[in-house]
Amino acid sequence: MTAMSKDFQAVAQLMHDETVTHTFVKDVALPSGKTMALLTLDNGLDHKKPTTLGPNGLLELRAALEVQAERAKNGEIDALAITGKPYFLIAGADLSAVTRLSAPDQSTAMASLGHYTYELLADLGVPTFAFINGLALGGGLEIALACNYRTVSTAAGALGLPEGFLGLIPGWAGVYRLPRLVGPENALKVMIENPLNSNRTLSGPAAAKMGVADALFEPADFIEHSIAFADGVISGTTEVKRPNAVDPTDPEVARRWLDAADAAEKFVDAKLSGAAPAPYKVLEVFRKGLAISQQESAVLEVEALTGLMSTPQFQNTVYAFLDLVQKRGKRPAGAPDPKLARPVTKVGVVGAGLMAGQLALLFARRLNVPVVITDLDQSRVDKGLAYIHGEIDKLHAKGRMSQDAVNRTKALVTGSVTKKAFADADFVIEAVFEELNVKKQVFAEVEAVVSPECILATNTSSLSVTEMGRDLSHPERLVGFHFFNPVAVMPLLEIAATEWTNDSSLSTAFVLGKKLKKTTVKTKDSAAFVVNRVLLRLMSEVQAAFDEGTDAKTADSALTPMGLPMSPLTLLAMVGLPVAQHVNESLNAAFGERFAVSENLQKLIDAKITALWVKDEAGNQVLNPEAEKLMAFGDQHSSKEQILARVQDALAEEIGLLLDEGVVAEAADVDLCMITGAGWPMHLGGITPYLDQVGASERVNGKRFNG
């Protein structure tokens, strides 16, 4: 490794502005009379700035460990422990630093640096302990895994190896050590299943139960108990049991190992269809790790990391995760000063249907203010209220709402057959039939009742907000407030302003969106805003290829390499054929033939067919035979590759136009919308980094979306 030390220094110099996590060392006199060196990792900042490891921090840790290894040799210390500042062991490697490594030798240096540092923890000459006092992700958990023993706090927020999700592998020996410690099945749950399931993590108690840690202590005196535990271990009075640990040389274990890898690979295929390389790489190194030494595995890990660091999927995920979800999603571009917002103390929802019910429940739960739903007759109102009460009861049954909260929330939601109930509301949202005249009529009635400042909001997905406001006395308080289905789950809220919308109303809308815990994006009033416009353009192209004569399977699987959450025809069925067609008609009216209205689709709608794919008797997915009979196809067959390129180009074109029209401020807003509103994968970076990478942006627009 010494040959690399120059490279380490070079990478460290490259990251001269790193927020360095320092290593502080204190000696602790143990009750047994022995001495422990206690290392604390701390960047000197408060809990809002998690500790991460960049090259400078790693080199400092390595230097501190070298000193302690020397002391161990001289008999000055009997044990070493490592812990973190309050709430964190280490949040992981410094991702923003990693994305700045441009040359492969830099990536190799960064990847090797972890091994170079952690190897001393694994073999210091005296027993080493990690006291996992808080968050320990990725390289943070791998520090703990490198130690000989581990304790964990019951309050440790999140433990995990999310590298597979980010586009890397747990390549600082996590992939090698974890399966030996907790068994191959558990290890793959931590390295594959959890990361790909919305990046789930383990709690402290769950980690202890799995065997990641040897002891679990409460946070109030976690360090004290961990030290007493360590003293017991080195004094031989405390026995450490690891029931889940395995010996891979045991043939039975080897069989389990490979079986677990096969099962995990099936899981990855189902999630990603091969669209992102990292999880497959995790499995590759995991499989090879079965029969080799840790040092041999380290070579493979560094190789894999070096390769993955330059993949677009890794770069895109870090962009999506750090720049979009964590930053831009929290500070929406173009939102007016929150101080201009007016208080919302009562909410009205026009309509008592399914969407209205979801909205009313969200408002009541998040705002804790009275919410009134209205509809044309009492039976619809009663049905709406019954739905809301049922949903509240479900939350209670799942343990997500206390009985007190159930009582409070149910009492907050009332129904009425007259809009007079909105008289003292500060915010009224309509969720009635998608028909411009109906919505205009509704707003006219509401405006007759409410104060001139009461915000009027529409949840329309494709109609013109501007047209809805044209006849209002106070159009300056009208906003588009577009949620995604299911409202409680999807994070995105598109907030559309018209030419009249004033800052105070817009600010109120954004502040309200934040209180509803939604990711808000400001859009211009433009047909279908962002997400539905992009989705519908995609579906139009696939539908067109299908109508032209491509077989359904080819058409529907052409986009598999993108790793979208579902295939276009499955999405179509989920949205509902009539709804999709309706939005498409609006888009067609607004933008013309780019959004072709499919005659085939209309035939299916007329025949009340709800899905193109059905299961046959053997359980295989087949084209609905009834549907097939109704439709007419051309004779132009496209290949998967052709369709994929066609869709990429169409998306590049549509997003280029959308940006030119000023629908959102930047390409980053489109990406944020696709991730939070359509569940598009982070490894595409939302969508525009992907379109840049596959060349579609330049093919169609002559330039990249992102620099």
Partner 1 sequence: MSANASTVRNNARPSLDDRDVVFIDGVRTPFGKAGEKGIYHGTRADDLAVKAVRGLLERNPEVPAEKIDEISIAATTQSGDQGLTLGRTVGLLSGIPKSVPGFAIDRMCAGAMTAVTATAGGIAFGAYDVVVAGGVEHMGNHPMGAGADPNPRFLSERIVDPQALNMGNTAENLHDRFPAITKERADRYAVASQAKLAKAYENQQIQADLIPVAAKRPGEGWAVNSVDEPPRPGTTMESLAELRTPFRAHGRVTAGNAAGLNDGATAALLASGEAVRELGLEPKMRMVSFAFAGVDPDVMGYGPVPATEKALAKAGLGIDDIGLFEINEAFAVQVLSFLDYYGIDQDDERVNRYGGAIAVGHPLASSGVRLMSQLARQFSEDHSVRYGITTMCIGLGMGGTVIWENPNHADFGSKA
Q: Which of 137, 142, 94 is nearest to 116 (CA)?
A: 142
CB burial of residue 339 (10 Å; 0-12, 13-18, 19+): exposed
Amino acid, res. 666 = E
CA 300-305-311 angle, to 5 degrees, is: 130
Comparing CB distances to partner 1, the nearer of 84 and 139 is 84
- Tell me how far CA of residue 251 lies from CA of 246, 254, 258, 380, in angstroms: 11, 5, 11, 65
Which residue number, 221 or 296, has a Cβ lying nearer to partner 1?
Answer: 221
Q: Which is nearer to partner 1, 38 or 53 (CB)?
A: 38
| CB-CB contact of 112 with 166 (8 Å) | no
SS3 at position 8: helix
CB 274 within 8 A of CB 251: no
Q: Which is nearer to partner 1, 40 or 460 (CB)?
A: 40
Nearer to partner 1, 50 or 475 (CB): 50
Among 19, 43, 83, 148, binds partner 1 (CB under 8 A): 83
Q: Which is nearer to partner 1, 89 or 506 (CB)?
A: 89
Q: Segment 225-264, which members bind partner 1 (CB under 8 A)?
A: 227
Handedness of CA 470, 472, 475, 478 (dihedral sign): negative
Selected from 16, 26, 241, 339, the binder of partner 1 by CB under 8 A is 26
The Cα–Cα gap between 203 and 332 comes to 31
The site map against partner 1 for 609-638 (x = CB under 8 A) is ------------------------------
Window of 32-40, 324-332, 571-579, 631-639 that interacts with partner 1 by CB under 8 A: 32-40
Window contacting partner 1 (CB under 8 A); options: 17-25, 282-290, 560-568, 569-577: 17-25
| 8 CB burial (10 A radius; 0-12, 13-18, 19+) | buried
220 sits near partner 1 (criterion: CB under 8 A): yes
Tokens of 15: 């990251």
> By CB under 8 A, which span of 20-28, 207-215, 490-498, 658-666 interacts with partner 1?
20-28
Measure the CA dihedral 614/619/620/624, to 10°.
-20
Query: For residues 117 and 140, is the Cβ–Cβ distance under 8 A?
Result: no
State which residue, 225 or 514, has the beta carbon closest to partner 1: 225
Exactly one of 19, 21, 40, 194 binds partner 1 (CB under 8 A); that residue is 40
Closest approach of partner 1 to the CB of residue 49, in Å: 15
Q: Which is nearer to partner 1, 223 or 364 (CB)?
A: 223
The residue within the footprint of partner 1, chosen from 70, 76, 123, 221 (CB under 8 A), is: 221
DSSP 4: G
* Binding range to partner 1, per CB under 8 A, among 25-33, 163-171, 280-288, 555-563: 25-33
Q: Please identify, using beta-carbon distances, which residue of 34 and 366 lies nearer to partner 1.
A: 34
In sequence order, the β-bridge partners of residue 353 are none
Q: Which of 4, 25, 292, 614 binds partner 1 (CB under 8 A)?
A: 25
Q: Which is nearer to partner 1, 84 or 480 (CB)?
A: 84
Task: Tell the smallest beta-carbon distance from residue 56 to partner 1 (Å).
Answer: 18
With residue 570 as reference, give the H or E element that holds it.
helix 568-575
What gap in Å lies between CA 612 and CA 622, rounded to an integer? Answer: 8
Rounded least distance, CB 128 to partner 1, Å:
16
The CB density around residue 345, as the number of other CB atoms within 10 Å, is 12
3-class DSSP state for residue 310?
Answer: coil
Residue 481's Cα: distance from chain center in Å? Answer: 22
Among 20, 38, 364, 675, binds partner 1 (CB under 8 A): 38
325 in Cβ contact with 675 (< 8 Å): yes
| Of residues 220 and 376, the one with the C-beta less far from partner 1 | 220
* 155 lies in the binding site for partner 1 (CB under 8 A): no
Phi, psi of 236 (to 5 degrees): 80, 10
**With binding defined as CB under 8 A, does residue 39 bind partner 1?**
yes
Q: Which of residues 42-71 bind partner 1 (CB under 8 A)?
A: 42, 44
CA dist., res. 201 & res. 601, Å (int): 42
Residue type, 402: S
Cis amide bond preceding 170, omega within 30: no
411 sits near partner 1 (criterion: CB under 8 A): no
Out of 66, 70, 123, 218, the only residue in the binding site for partner 1 (CB under 8 A) is 218
683 touches partner 1 (CB under 8 A): no
State in angstroms the smallest separation of the CB of 310 from partner 1: 36
Q: How far apart are CA 191 and CA 339, in angstroms?
A: 44
- From 223, 318, 506, 604, residue interacting with partner 1 (rule: CB under 8 A): 223
Among 4, 7, 10, 28, binds partner 1 (CB under 8 A): 28
Q: What number of chain residues touch partner 1 (CB under 8 A)?
A: 22
Nearer to partner 1, 227 or 361 (CB): 227
Distance of CA 691 to the CA centre of its chain: 20
Query: Is 29 an interacting residue with respect to partner 1 (CB under 8 A)?
Result: yes
Q: Do you find a cis peptide bond into 486, omega within 30 degrees of 0? A: yes
Would you say how long the chain is, in residues? 707
| 703 binding partner 1? (CB under 8 A) | no
Query: Least separation, in Å, of the C-beta of 201 and partner 1?
Result: 24
**HEC profile of 215-255:** EEECHHHHHHHHHHHHHHHHHCCCCCCCCCCCCCCCHHHHH
Least Cβ distance, residue 62 to partner 1 (angstroms): 17
| H or E element in which residue 458 lies | strand 455-458
Nearest residue (CB) to partner 1, 153 versus 501 = 153
Question: Between residues 223 and 367, which has the closer beta carbon with respect to partner 1?
Answer: 223
- When binding is defined by CB under 8 A, the residue of 24, 259, 451, 574 that contacts partner 1 is 24
**Which residues of this protein are in contact with partner 1, per CB under 8 A?**
23-26, 28-29, 31, 38-40, 42, 44, 83, 85-86, 218, 220-224, 227
